[in-house]
């Protein structure tokens, strides 16, 4: 008996089919990778914007709250209640341990090196009195903190030699302009410097404010002595530009044709990144701006604007410092890597 085994044919993929399948798979993988890369890039951009926005808004809101609780004693007194000026001490090369570059004679004399600043940016300070809400329990948002503070003051007021000191803090802001990474001063003629602002805030306790700063004719130097041994908080860094402008209401002393003196408004720039900031001093019944004195004057409002560098922009600046990237056009750089914020605030009027 003869048994025959049936033969089965096994057929695999042809080379063309295999190559086609590999090509389709490669296209799908590349598409997924591209979408993933775009998603990650978008997430980084959004996260960068959120971080930048949060930092700038916190700085603006902090300054706004402080100015909204501005305190002074009006009347015929020469005590300084608000002081703002350019901080020449912070801008001097010696303050950063850097020697000024020697000028070369002959060809190219007076020309800045490539990448150098075309002007000397200026640091600034301004000091005033306020009820700082984040440091002063008397104006805290927590009712129990306010109640506890009032009880503490009441008991302290009963003790001999421990009088009621009030709820006023001296608040100082310092805007420092320098290269914070290389610790170089921002000076014209210095190459390789891409400085930015850092904004610092210092709140002096009620006790030191009462004992050392209230009713002073030279608030700036009195505050410097207190600030030297107190801790500052940095509330915003990577600031490219900042402007603080105050509106001054004053009564004109000029009267003609039997008309009474009238109220007028003046504007003063307290802080400006382009170097136009002026010295502003507020006393009990006048405001001095530079060399001009406004009688029967008060600051009624302020405008604050800040332009901050994004984290991506800060990374690009660092690569430029290291010579790993070429500086882009200023217009393109500011449009892509900076964000601008602004706010207005009305100051309380103690009249």
Q: What is the pLDDT of residues 233-280, one digit of tens each?
A: 888 888 888 889 999 998 876 555 555 667 888 999 887 766 677 889
**What's the average model confidence in pLDDT over 76-89?**
84
Greater model confidence, 12 or 192:
12
Which residues is 342 bridged to in the sheet? Answer: 305
Q: What is the pLDDT of residues 284-296, one digit of tens each?
A: 989 999 888 998 8
**What's the average model confidence in pLDDT over 58-67?**
90
**pLDDT for res 98:** 39
Q: What is the pLDDT of residues 160-214, one digit of tens each?
A: 555 556 688 999 998 887 665 555 655 544 555 566 788 999 999 888 898 899 9
Between CA 208 and CA 221 the distance in angstroms is: 15
**pLDDT for res 95:** 41
Share of the chain above pLDDT 70, in %: 70
**pLDDT for res 119:** 45
Greater model confidence, 46 or 313:
313
Maximum average pLDDT range among 52-56, 97-101, 105-109, 145-149: 52-56
């Amino acid at each position: 008996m003869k048994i025959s085994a049936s033969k089965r044919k096994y057929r695999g993929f042809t080379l063309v089919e295999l190559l086609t399948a590999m090509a389709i798979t490669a296209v799908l993988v590349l598409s997924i990778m591209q979408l993933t890369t775009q998603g990650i890039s978008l997430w980084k951009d959004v996260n960068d914007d959120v971080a930048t926005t949060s930092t700038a808004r916190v700085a603006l809101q902090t300054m706004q709250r402080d100015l909204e609780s501005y305190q002074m004693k009006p009347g015929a007194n020469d005590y300084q209640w608000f002081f703002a000026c350019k901080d020449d001490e912070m801008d001097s090369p010696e303050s950063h341990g850097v020697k000024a570059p020697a000028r070369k004679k002959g060809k190219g004399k007076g020309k800045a090196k490539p990448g150098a600043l075309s002007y000397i940016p200026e640091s600034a300070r301004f000091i005033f009195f306020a009820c700082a809400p984040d440091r002063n329990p008397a104006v805290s948002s927590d009712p129990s903190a306010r109640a506890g503070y009032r009880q503490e003051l009441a008991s302290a007021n009963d003790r001999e030699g421990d009088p009621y000191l009030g709820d006023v803090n001296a608040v100082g802001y310092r805007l420092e302009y320098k290269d914070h990474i290389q610790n170089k001063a921002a000076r014209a003629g210095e190459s390789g410097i891409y400085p930015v602002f850092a904004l610092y805030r210092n709140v002096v306790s009620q006790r030191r404010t009462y004992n050392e700063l209230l009713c002073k004719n030279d608030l700036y130097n009195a505050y410097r002595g207190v600030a030297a041994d107190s801790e500052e908080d940095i509330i915003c860094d990577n600031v490219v530009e900042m402007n603080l402008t105050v509106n001054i209401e004053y009564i004109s002393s000029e009267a003609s044709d039997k008309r009474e003196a009238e109220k007028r408004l003046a504007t003063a720039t307290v802080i400006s990144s382009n170097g136009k900031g002026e010295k502003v001093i507020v006393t009990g019944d006048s405001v001095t701006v530079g060399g001009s004195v406004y009688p029967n004057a008060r600051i009624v409002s302020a405008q604050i604007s800040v332009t901050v560098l994004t984290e991506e922009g800060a990374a690009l600046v660092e690569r430029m410092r290291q010579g790993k990237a070429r500086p882009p056009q200023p217009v393109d750089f500011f449009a892509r890597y900076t964000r601008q914020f602004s706010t207005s605030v009305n100051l309380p009027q103690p009249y």
